[in-house]
Every structure is written in structure tokens, then in C-alpha cells.
Structure 1
Amino acid sequence: MKHFLQTSRRASRSPEDPAPPAGRPVPLRRQRDYRLLFTARAVTETGTEISRLAVPLTAAALLGASPAQMGALTAATSLPHLLFGLQAGALADRLRRHRPVMVGCDLVSALAMATVPAAWAVGVLTVPWLVAVAFVVGTCSAIFRAAAFPHLTTVVPENRRTEALAGFQSAFAVATVGGPGLAGLLVQLITAPFALLVDALSFLASAFLIRSIAAPENHVPAPPRGMWTEIREGLGAVARNPVLRALCGAGVTINFFGGAFMALFVIYSLTVVHLPAGLVGAVTACFGVGGLLGAAVVPRLTRRFGENAVVTCAALLFPIDFATTALVSGPPWRSFLFLAVSAVISGLGVVAFSICMGTITLREAPAELRGRVNATQSFMIQGVVTLGGLGGGLAGELLGLRPVFWISAAGVLTATGWILLSPLRHFSAARTP
């Protein structure tokens, strides 16, 4: 989930921050290096959406994977973030140049994905092979994200980072809306394993685009003091800073109850609300539409009200989708309309929160700790999704589906407590671009 304060400090300009442009700022879309970075993000997000459908289809439909194997395949994608996320953050802070690491991760991911259609063509593809590929790509993703966060300061000046992060979120939203349809078309035309060639090509394109960025990298690396010492410094930076601590606490709360919600949403939609499978997919697309809307309006809102106000209001939007889902009943078409509208609101809230969180983190985290702070947040916020999903599934068995959604709505509302009890509650005056 991707900002002034009267009580929190404004981070001083770090050595790697480009000087702000003189006069009227040039739109980011006209700045070559940002266009390259944005395009790299857009093509990889689209490729990821294709593999999100093609990989499980390959496992279930073509290889006859068991439920346990499907669970292992899903876990293999996220497990590297828990195993290596903190270490990746420490390594990112040690680097003088992040771009070669990002390019290397893309190339390894492309090679791993390309082995799937090759193995299928010669008849040796197995479910363990898919699990290994998912683990390799997940590991590369964890390292790439750790390096990409501090690298952003090389390409985008401090006063344009909200706009830059909004652009990245818009790429994700477009992929969420159009990716599943493209994936389905490719699977129909060339089968699921060969559809993964498109994902492999997207990684190659990303590597080429990132390699073409010209901005010099002048990051001052943190001196190595031992891996676990450096990891503890990242954990301590988040724990001691009241703003970073509040953002992390709010993110953990949101994702825990969000994990419980998502664990039950599909089965609830099909068996209780009686939505056709196509309309369930359409609700997901509406979430992407909300994300596009959020990416478009958040930069303007933050210029007018500041990131603190926007992130607080975004947190207040999360319970709407959960409560609406718990309330819907009646004809499927009416339920779909309510769920679609609430999904748009939820998508807007998620993107607004993510953008502001990213900008505030860049503002608050010391330059030499940015990689570790981002890795600490990702480790905790993404890791808790698994716990939320397990808890939601167990609660659904014991209490029923609707009660879990009501509990989730009430629980996610408590995320605002983290923000309102921190310096983020102090809103700034309007700012000019």
C-alpha cells in the first residue's frame, strides 16, 4: 500500500536527491528517466497479471495439482518476502548503485519464467518445477523492490515523489483492469504455459528500460556492520519514529483484516450472494478502476491538503467495502451494483493510502536507512496477509461468512487509531505545486 506536520521533521535533502527544477516544473511524463522507469513498471505489472492466471491454470488444469500443491505454489510466491525481505533491505542500503541489481533481478526472472514453456514443450514440466519458478521470481521481486525504493530518489526530486508514486499505482491499476482479460485471451490462443512467455518478455523489456536510465547514482552506502545489526537498525528506525510506527501499525491492521476478507470473498460471492463467476471478476476490475481514479486525484489532493490529511481519509474508506459486502442481499444484479461501487471506493482508498505512505516514508526515513525501513514495512505489512487469511478461513468455519465481514469492517476501522494517535493527525496548510 503506498505526505506538513507541525510536530514531525521534514527530512533534509539527501546527497542523491536531484535539485528541484527552476520555474514551473516539467511534467514527469515529459522527463525521460521517469518515463523509462514508469514504462518498466507498467510492462512488468501487466506480465504479473498474466502469470497470476496462467501459472495456477497450468498447475491445476494441465498438471493435475492437488489442493496442497496449489497452496505450496501460492506460498512460494510470497515466502521469499518473509525469508529475505529484511536482508534485501540491508543490502540495498549498502549499495552505491541500485540499478544493476534491479536489471539483474529482471533478467533472472525472465529466464525462470521462460523455463516453464520450454519444460512443457519437451514434456518435463511438473508442479515442483512451477513451485521452484515461483520461489525464484518471488525472491527476485523481494530484492528488486528493496533496491527500487531508494533508487526512486535518483530519478525523482523530493517535491515530485507523490506524483511519481501515483503514476506507478496507475500502472498497477490499469494492469488489474486489463491484465486478467489479456491473460484469458492468451491462454485461449496459445495455452497457459506459453502465455508465460509474455511475462518473461515483460521482464526483459523492464531490464532494458531500467538499463537505459541516464540519471547518475550517487547514493552514499551505509557502512557494513553485520547483517543482523543492520536489520535491527531498520526495525529500530520504524519502532522509534512515531510517524513510521503509525503507518506500519495501520498497514498491518488493514492487511490482516483484508486478508481475512479476501480469503472468504469469492466463496461468499458465489454461494451466498449467487453472483456468476464473470461478475465476481468484474468486481475485481472495479477495484482497478478505483485505483486509477485514486492515482489521478491523489497528487492534486496532497498538494491542496497534504499527505497527512489524505492518508487519514483513505484509512476511513476501508470499512465501507467490508460492511457493504456483509449487507448485500436480494437479486444478484443489485448485489453486484453495490459491490461494484464499494470496490471502486476501496480501490481508491488502497491506492491513496499506498501513495501517501510511500511519500511519507521517503520523507521520514533517514537516507542511509531507506532500504531497510521499506523492507521492514513490507515484511510486516505483507507478511500479516497470510495470518489474516488463515484466521479468516477459521473464523468463517466457526462463525459463518457474514459475521467475519462485520468483524473485519470493525477491525479495519481501528487502523485510523494508529494515525490519529500519531503526529500524522496534524494536517498542514494548502501547498502550491
Structure 2
Amino acid sequence: MTTAAEAPPEGAISRLLPSALHGRVPAVLRRRDFRRFWIGHSVSLIGDEVHRIAMPLAAVLLFGAGATAMAWLTAAPMIPALLLSIPAGIWVDRRPSRRRIMLFADLGRFLAVLSVPVAYAFGVLTLAQLIVAELAVGVLAVLFSISDNTLFAAMVPNAELMQASSLSNGSRAFAYVSGPSLGGLAVQLLTAPFALVADAASYLASAVALSRISPTEPVPDREAKGGFLAGLRWIVATPGIRALQGAVGTVNFFDFIFQALFILYVSTYLHINAGLLGLALGAGAVGGLVGAALTSRVVARIGIGMGMTLGFLGFAAPHILVVLASGPKVLIVLTLFVYEFLSGLGVMVLDVSANAYITAVMPDDLRSRISGVLQTINYGIRPLGALTGGWLATTVGIRTALAISTIGACCSVLFLLGSPLRKLRELPS
């Protein structure tokens, strides 16, 4: 583990905050490099949520895109993660500066997204350009995410990984709450293409933040011997990571069975309209914010291994509420609200603790190759789950398929219960 950048003098923070609040500031935010990176990345996450609304709306409203076109538009940013993560991990581990790669990725995404409103302003925007822009964003996102773990570890010491992970995942949860509303308002006021200016600006903000930090990064492995197999061998040979990856793969597979059927079941079988469903979905983001705030305390009390176990169960078990939902519409909506809130809270406990653990145990010279393998597996299992969901629904019925997916997702904890993670109290040094 490389040494994280030293925290700035206490006076630097004291000048910015009242003395009564100074003691409440997480120690990791007193580290200048992490603070700048976190602020820039938080802005970028909000921009991503604006993007998720504005880009498909541009395709539908401007070009009347049908199901096939929307499928390509949706798949375009995800295909690179499946195909390029492993070679990108090998390439990144050979580079001397991951920060520069991330800076390049942000600037590239800024230009790719900005090309849409510019083309629209000149009357030359096409549906094909939207798809190409999404594909470019996906490729650059792979480079950014593969580099992120190494830079994160260079800025944050092990003792503060839980705090840093809570802050990063809390920003993501806040973006889920605020981003869609801001995106919808921007589309309404500016039209969908011009709303993407906000997303482009968020990438620029992240790039500026990256340009103002200088963490000491690990020495690159210029030969990167073993290629992706080196990362895969490390995962297989490390009991805790092997068990965690088995659990993550299982919960992702069964959750995407659930997600493929959830909207159809709620709207067709439970007769819940889009407005009420939107309110229920918002509860998941609120649960995520609560989870980000509480995870450090939970882990300090029960240990990080049991924290991950609790996170898996807390995310998966509430799915059964959807299967059991019945009765008056008010009761059904309330049940969906509770499901989203509890599941959002559970997944945040899982993400914060698991991300901190993975960052702590990864060897510096393999970080990007390991990240590439993990990302490929995680992204690859999701469409398999979604396709299985369609097959199950036609074979045993949609409600039974949802019940099967819930049971399967809960079984993910079995990987942890039979591993060293079950008794792990603190992050390894």
C-alpha cells in the first residue's frame, strides 16, 4: 500500500469552518488531495444522472427512436466495460500516472458529450452521433474506473478507508436523489440536447479537480507480466476476495433477474402508475444516503466482515416485500417504499465496506489488472441474469420468478459465512 498524501495543516481547515464544526469534519477530508478529488467527482456523479435522463430523451423526442434504437443507445456505454476492462487493466498498470489517465478520460468525456448540443445548435445532430457519443463515453469510463482504485489508495491511508468509501458512496446516493430532478428540470427548460451541457460541465469540473492534486502513486509495472491472468490468479488465490467475488456475482445475477421483471410486475400486476413508482424508487436513494452515513458506525461495532454480510442480506432480503405486496393501492405503494428504502440502505452498507476492504488488500502492482477482471465479471453477469429473468417469467410465471430471484440473491451470503471474512473485524494493514 502506498503512503497517502499527508493531511494539510489543521489551520487550513480551521480557516474554512467554524471551530464548533471542525471536530465533526471527517479526518480524510482534511487531506487536500482527497478533498479536491471527492468534490470534483461528486459534481461529475450528479452530471451522470442528468445524462441518464437527457440522452435517451434526446433520442426519443428528436428522432422518435424505437425499441431497437433505444437498445443500442442503452448498450453502447456498457459494451466497452465488458470488452475492454481486462486489456485496459493491463495497459493502465504499465502507465506511470493514473491521475493523467483519469484527467484524459474526463476531458474526452467532456468533448464527447458537448458534441451533442453543439451539433444540435448547428442542425446536424443525428441518432448515430448519439450512439457514437455514448460509446466514446463508455470507453473513457472504463479507463477512468480502472485507474480510480490506484489513485484512491494513493490518497487515503488504511485507517481512513471506511470514511473515504462512505463519502464517495454517499455522493453517489446524493446524485441519485438530486440528479434526476435536476435533469428533468434542465430538459424541460433547455431541451434535452442543451441539458447535456450540464453533464459536460461536470466532467470538466472533475478534470479541474484532478489537475490540482498530486498524490504519490505506486511505481508502474512496465512489463505487467502475466497479463490479466496475474489479476485472475490473485483473486482466486485470495480467500477473502474469492468469497466476496462469489457473493457479488451471485447477488448481481439474481438481482438482474429481479430488475428485468420489476417494472413490468409493478405496473401490470400491481397496477402502480409511473408517478407513484417514481416516489417509491426515490426511497432507495434516501436509504442509500442513510446507509452511507451509518456504515462506519455499524462496521466499528460488528466488524467489517459482518458488515459486508449484513449488507448482502440487507440488500437482497427486502426484495420479498415486492412479491408479498397486495391489498389497497396505498398499502402496496407503502410496501414498495419500504422495499426500496431498506434495499438502498443495505446496498450502501455493502458497497462502502466491500470497497474499503478491496482497496485495502489489493497489491499496488496489480490494482488495475485486478480491477479489470472484477469489472468484466460484474458487468458480464448482469445481462445473463436479465435474460434468465425473461426465461423464468415465461416458464414459471413472473411472481414465482421474482421469488426465486430473491431466494437466490439471499444465498449470496453463504460465500461469506464459509470464508475468513466472517470473522474479520478490521481492515488488513
Q: Any idea what the Cα deviations from partners look like across 1:246-286, whole Å, max 9, x if unmatched? A: 11111111111111111111121211111121121122211
Matches within 5 A, 1:406-425: 406-425=403-422
Query: Which residue is 1:310 aligned to?
Result: 307
SS of 1:329's partner is coil
Query: Which residue is 1:367 aligned to?
Result: 364
SS of 2:96's partner is coil
Contact kept, 8 Å, 2:258 with 2:402, in 1: the verdict is yes
Q: Which letter maps to 1:224?
A: E
Contact kept, 8 Å, 2:228 with 2:370, in 1: the verdict is no
Matches within 5 A, 1:150-169: 150-169=150-169
Alpha-carbon distance, 1:397 to partner: 2.8
Aligned counterparts of 2:6 and 2:172: Cα–Cα separation in 1: 28
Q: Any idea what the Cα deviations from partners look like across 1:211-268, whole Å, max 9, x if unmatched? A: 11143x2311123146xx3211011111111111111111111111111111111121
Unpaired segments ≥5 residues, structure 2: 11-22
Alpha-carbon distance, 1:191 to partner: 0.6
Q: Which letter maps to 1:368?
A: D
Comparing 30-39 with 107-116, greater Cα deviation is found at 30-39
Query: Which residue is 2:322 aligned to?
Result: 325
Contact kept, 8 Å, 1:15 with 1:220, in 2: the verdict is no
Aligned counterparts of 2:96 and 2:302: Cα–Cα separation in 1: 35
Query: Which residue is 2:200 aligned to?
Result: 200
Please tell me whether residue 230 in structure 1 is matched to residue 227 in structure 2: yes
Alpha-carbon distance, 1:422 to partner: 1.1
Q: Which letter maps to 1:157?
A: P
Q: Which letter maps to 1:220?
A: V
Aligned counterparts of 1:181 and 1:18: Cα–Cα separation in 2: 36
The 1:190–1:154 alpha-carbon spacing in structure 2 relative to 1, beyond 3 Å, is same
Aligned counterparts of 1:415 and 1:52: Cα–Cα separation in 2: 29
Contact kept, 8 Å, 2:73 with 2:130, in 1: the verdict is yes
Aligned counterparts of 1:70 and 1:366: Cα–Cα separation in 2: 40
Aligned counterparts of 1:21 and 1:233: Cα–Cα separation in 2: 37
Contact kept, 8 Å, 1:95 with 1:219, in 2: the verdict is no
Q: Which letter maps to 2:131?
A: V
Alpha-carbon distance, 1:19 to partner: 6.7
Q: Any idea what the Cα deviations from partners look like across 1:115-166, whole Å, max 9, x if unmatched? A: 1111222222222211111110011111101111110122111110111011
Q: Which letter maps to 1:82?
A: L
Query: Which residue is 2:47 aligned to?
Result: 47
Query: Which residue is 1:188 aligned to?
Result: 188
Give TM-score scaled by structure 2 length.
0.92
Aligned counterparts of 2:326 and 2:353: Cα–Cα separation in 1: 35
Please tell me whether residue 428 in structure 1 is matched to residue 428 in structure 2: no
The number of residue pairs the alignment matches comes to 414
Contact kept, 8 Å, 1:92 with 1:146, in 2: the verdict is yes
Query: Which residue is 2:275 aligned to?
Result: 278
Alpha-carbon distance, 1:21 to partner: 10
Q: Which letter maps to 1:317?
A: G
The 1:50–1:100 alpha-carbon spacing in structure 2 relative to 1, beyond 3 Å, is same
Contact kept, 8 Å, 2:6 with 2:31, in 1: the verdict is no
Q: Which letter maps to 2:27?
A: P
The 1:22–1:214 alpha-carbon spacing in structure 2 relative to 1, beyond 3 Å, is closer
Alpha-carbon distance, 1:203 to partner: 0.4
Q: Which letter maps to 2:347?
A: V
Matches within 5 A, 1:208-223: 208-215=208-215, 217-223=216-222
Please tell me whether residue 267 in structure 1 is matched to residue 264 in structure 2: yes
Aligned counterparts of 1:305 and 1:371: Cα–Cα separation in 2: 31
Aligned counterparts of 2:26 and 2:190: Cα–Cα separation in 1: 43
Matches within 5 A, 1:13-24: 14-18=1-5
Identify which of structures 1 and 2 has the higher relative contact order when contacts are C-alpha pairs closer than 8 Å and 6+ apart.
Answer: 1
The 1:60–1:95 alpha-carbon spacing in structure 2 relative to 1, beyond 3 Å, is same
Give TM-score scaled by structure 1 length.
0.91
Alpha-carbon distance, 1:18 to partner: 4.6
Q: How big is the alpha-carbon RMSD for the aligned residues of Structure 1 and Structure 2?
A: 2.0
Aligned counterparts of 1:296 and 1:90: Cα–Cα separation in 2: 35
Aligned counterparts of 1:231 and 1:20: Cα–Cα separation in 2: 35
Query: Which residue is 1:125 aligned to?
Result: 125
SS of 2:220's partner is coil
Aligned counterparts of 2:254 and 2:185: Cα–Cα separation in 1: 33
Aligned counterparts of 1:21 and 1:43: Cα–Cα separation in 2: 23
